[in-house]
Amino acid sequence: MKEDAHEQAVRLISAEHVEGLTPEQRRWLDAHLSACPGCSAKADALGRALSSLRLVSVQLDPAVLAATRRLVRSRAAEIGEQRNRLRIAWMAPMLSFVWMAFTGPLMWRGFEWLGGSLGWADGVWQSSFVVGWFLPATAAALALSLMRGERLHRLEN
């Protein structure tokens, strides 16, 4: 659906005060406003309204200003704490992955040797290997879930 010239003019008048206009849009709007008294009146009314809003002065209570600053600082500190928790939440799986990648072959040989030395069946030492190999990842997941549970508990209280 094609936009009517007057609708386009109103849209450009509003856009001029928010994001600005391209030179081409500015030329089109100027030409339209010089030829259309209705749109020109709308542009003038919007310009006067914005000018009067700029003249309005608001007096703030110093206590309200101080309370707002405290709340903003408190929220900023809370966001910083959340970022630190997220770093830990990302580092734990990465460290666990690195642990598993580098220690897998060594632990396999170690458990194979231990199982052979103690006369364990293959299934026993292989199961022990899997538990030992996944233990750091499991501990990291447990720690993260406890941290999250603590945070949820604090939010409920």
Mean of the pLDDT values across residues 120-130?
90
- Judge whether residue 113 has pLDDT over 90: yes
Alpha helices in 1-157 (DSSP H): 5-18, 23-35, 37-55, 62-118, 122-156
Give residue-wise pLDDT tens across range 79-90: 888 887 777 777
Q: Which amino acid is at 148?
A: R
The whole-model pTM stands at 0.37
Dihedral of CA atoms 12, 13, 17, 20 in degrees, nearest 10, equals 30
CA 127, 129, 130, 131 torsion: positive or negative?
A: positive
Domain parsing of the chain, residue ranges: 5-55, 80-156
